[in-house]
Structures are given as structure tokens and as C-alpha cells.
A and B are shown apart, each in its own frame.
Chain A
């Protein structure tokens, strides 16, 4: 077996470098294709109309409207709502795991969340469609509403939040726990006032990343949100998000309509990209894969 070979090493170097730039090439290709295909709509309406107008009617012959405000607002509202519901529940779930459960139970509770995290969104959507929507419908018809969508998304994002917050919490310094034990601080106080402030950064990362996941969620939302493009008057009104609109209309869209859809996909992508980049900007150096 020959272990050193300058020529082979060089070839290998070239190959892995090419491989490393594959990701960048894909990102650029995605941006180019989306931009290229949204160009007709962008040049006809301008980006301004997409982010200020709330009426979406691109197939109208005389007065086409391509406002995405209602859909963007709905996407943001249900995502933030879902995370706002899931985060406190997740935090208390973890409080139970860390403070009160014996070892085998903590293990089991973690495993259950990992299993639930693997459930496909389509199954959550199906459950929402068959169980949750009729339930809401009994009290506040039509049932398929912003509320149902938020609840299903909250349920979906719960495992993600629990797993990332748990990772942040378990990387806390062990000596502080020993010190707080020595001082006779209760474990609850340790959890709220020492562990959580320490894990703050990791928790924020977890929350923002699950927020990006939730904004991008499509199938579950299509199935439970009612799919009416409007700014909802109450949580019981049906809504449609950006991703749902893409999934529902791309199948039959043509010409300017199709182009408008690519534009809102681009807007969505830029929104999520900005979130991720902002997060990375504030990331402490030592955190980056060292």
C-alpha cells in the first residue's frame, strides 16, 4: 500500500475543492433561476406592488393584482404564533426532564420527542384535517382557520424546539451547578436563574431556526388553513400562506401568473435568508464548528 503520492494528493485536493464549491453553485443557480423566471412579473409590476398591495389576482385580464402582503403577513403571524405557543410548553417540558424525572424517564421523554420530530408534516396535516378542523368547526365554523394552522404548526415545531433548547441547556457549565448546590440554591432557581441565562444564545439560535422551518412549512398548512387569501379579522378566519399559495397555484399557473409566483418564492427565500444571516452575524466565533 502506497501511503504518500504527491500527484494523487493533488488530484484529491482538486476534487474535494470542486465538491466544496458545489453548495455555492447550487445556491447561485437557485437564485438565478428564480430571478430569471420572476423577471417578467417584476418588470411589469415592480417589487413595490408585491410588498405593499394585499390583493392577489394575477389572472384578471384588465386589472391584475399581485400583492403578497396578506400571504406574507399570514405566514409570519402563524409562524410566530406557533413558536410562541411551542416555546413555553417546550421549556416546561424540559424543566420536567431536567429537574423532576428519574434517569430512565428523562431518557424516555427525550427519545419520544426525537421520534415525534421525525413525523412527516403531511401526517400532522392529515391529523389536523381529520381531527382538529372538525373540532374547531363545532364552535367556530368553518374550522379550517388561522387557529388550526397555528396549533398544528405549534405541535410540529415542538420537538424541534425541545431538542435544540435541550442541546443548549445541557452544554451549561457543570461547575456552576456544583457551586449552586453547595450554596443550597433550589434546583428550580438553578434552572431559571443560572442555566437558562447561560444557554440564552443557543436557545435563540434554536428558536430562530425553528421559525425558519415553520415559515417554510407547506403541506400541513395547505391542509388545515382554509386557503383564502385575506388578512384575517380573527383567528377563526381562513387564511393562505405564501408556501401554500405556491403549492396550490403553481400546478396550473401560466405566463405572468407563474412569474408572479416565482417572485413571491424569491421574496420568501430572501426573508428566511436574512433571518439566517442575521443569526450568523451575531454568532460568537467559538461556536462555528470548532
Chain B
């Protein structure tokens, strides 16, 4: 009885899952592909985005992304290296830092958005700008990135570590010449996953990088990211559905490319990278 039921339900579950996602994808492609064209990618939006394309939005999205990665990677690297050197002595300090990272990772993105608004926009007087958005996203991906980097550092064989210590190598040397080269594919995969999360983020950006649809001239200008553009078109612009779908399609294609990139890297890596990021 168990055998038959399990088989029936298992097949049903797979059919439901795959079926729903395929229907979803087909629906999106169906309603989005007419608006999707070369011109859509490379022209400015007109009439609140009902006509025209998404060129300035793609530019502000990439600016936000680059800033977020630029700020998040070095600081996560430092924390991860620290944890690597201290993790074997299970002290209050390391436990505290790990717990705080887990807490930070669980904070909803909208709360990060509010924090970014209070701290970067108001307190540091950056206003609604691409810089505020990038910094907020950097804080948002920082904890996950840290834990991913830490997990990838832990794959360094214990013998290597012991030998390096017995030789009296300095920590800087160990980090530069052993740790980072050894776990480079894990580091890259972690960063790429961070990029994915940044591209997908909406809630943290509404109150930090703003809605401006114009071409940003510097990082102190306000700029609308692609996901915010989809939200605006779908919710606040009547009849914006077609272009929202087209923009969503662009977003999905970008993410698909990034994901294929990860698969190419992660295939040579154990399971932890994926599990650390979900």
C-alpha cells in the first residue's frame, strides 16, 4: 500500500510542480514577447513606461549591482577569513558573530529598505540615489555572502592548514596564497549568487534608489531598477501589463544566464553552496 501510494503521490507532485512552472513560463513568454524587441532594450521609456524601452533602467540596475558587489565582497571576505581562523576554537566571540550573521540573513528585505532609507538617505544625506540603493543591497547580501565564503574556506584540507601553521606562515600569507586560491571557485559562485539576489530585489530598493525613470548621470542620481520598473508598471500604471511582462522576461533571461554561469562553476563544487543560499 505504501509503495503504490508513494508512487502515485510522487508522480502527482512532480507533475504539479513542473506543470505549474512551465505554465507560468509560457504565460509570461506569451504575453511578453510581442513587446520584446531590440528597440525595447535600447530606447528610453516614454509615457511612464507604456511606450518606449528600458535602456536607462538597465543602466541604473547595473550601476546598483556593481556598487552592491563592490561594497559587499571585501567586507564579507574579511569576516569570512576571521571566522575561518577562529572557528576551531568555539568561543563566545565566534558563536556571537555566526548568530548575528544568521539573524541578519533572516531580516526581511523591506526592513533593510527602511533601514537604508533612514541611514543612507536621511542620516548620511545621500537622498534617493543609486548609491543608497547599492549600499542597502550590499548590507542585504552581506550575511549570506559571508556564510557562503566561510563554508567555501572550510573546504581547505586540515593538513594544509596544520602544515602552514607549523611553518609559521603569517595569517596574511595563508589567506592570500592558500585560502583564496584554493576556494576561488566557491568565492566566485558565492558572488554570482549575490548578484542574482541583487537583480531580483525589489522591496529594498523602492525606498532607497527611488523611481526616477531618467538616465542616471552619476551614482548620486535616483534610478529605477528593473524589478521596481516591473512593479510600477504592473501596479501603478494602467495598461502597463504588456511592458511589465516584457521587462519580466528580460529579467528572467538575465537571471537564466547568471544561473547557467553558476552551474558551470558549481558543478565542480560540493552541495554546500546551493544549500547555503536557499
Q: Do these two chains interact?
A: yes
A interface residue numbers (CB < 8 A to B): 3-6, 8-9, 12-13, 15-24, 26-27, 29-30, 33-34, 37, 88-93, 95-96, 99-100, 109, 111-123, 125-127, 129-131, 155, 158-160, 163-164, 167, 170, 186, 188-189, 191-192, 209, 212-213, 215-219, 222-223, 243, 246-247, 250-251, 262, 265, 268-269, 272-273, 275-277, 280, 285, 288-290
Identify A9's interface contact among B14, B81, B97, B170, CB under 8 A.
B170
Closest to A208 in B: B106
Instruction: Among B14, B85, B235, point to the contact of A223 (Cβ < 8 A).
Output: B235
Given contacts A20-B82, A100-B10, A123-B252, contact A112 B18 (CB under 8 A): yes
Segment touching A, from B39-47, B48-56, B138-146, B216-224: B138-146
- Chain A contacts of B171 at CB under 8 A? 9, 12-13, 16
Residue among B7, B100, B111, B117 facing the most chain A CB atoms (10 A cut-off): B111
Let me know if B10 and A92 touch, CB within 8 A. yes
Question: Would you call B35 an interface residue if the criterion is a C-beta within 8 Å of the partner chain's C-beta atoms?
Answer: no
CB pair B118–A33 under 8 Å, yes or no, is yes
Task: Identify the closest chain B residue to A243 (Cβ).
Answer: B110
Among B14, B16, B28, chain A packs the most CB atoms within 10 A around the CB of B14
A247 smallest CB distance to B (angstroms)? 6
Q: A37 — nearest CB in chain B belongs to which residue?
A: B118
Residue ranges of B at the interface with A (Cβ–Cβ < 8 Å): 2-3, 6-7, 9-14, 16-18, 20-21, 24, 27-28, 31, 75, 77-79, 81-83, 85, 87, 90, 95-104, 106-111, 114-115, 117-119, 123, 139, 142-143, 146, 150-151, 154, 168-173, 175, 196, 199-203, 206-207, 227, 230-231, 234-235, 241, 244-245, 248, 251-252, 255-256, 258-259, 263, 271, 274-275, 278
Task: Please list the 3 inter-chain residue pairs (A to B) with the smallest Cβ-Cβ separation, ordered nearest first.
Answer: A19-B78, A216-B108, A120-B200
CA A218 – CA B202 in complex, angstroms?
A: 9
With contacts A12-B172, A120-B227, A223-B235 known, is A127 near B108, CB below 8 A?
A: no
Q: Is the CB of B170 within 8 A of A12?
A: yes
Distance in angstroms from B71 CB to nearest chain A CB is 11
Contact between chains at B203 and A18 (CB < 8 Å)? no
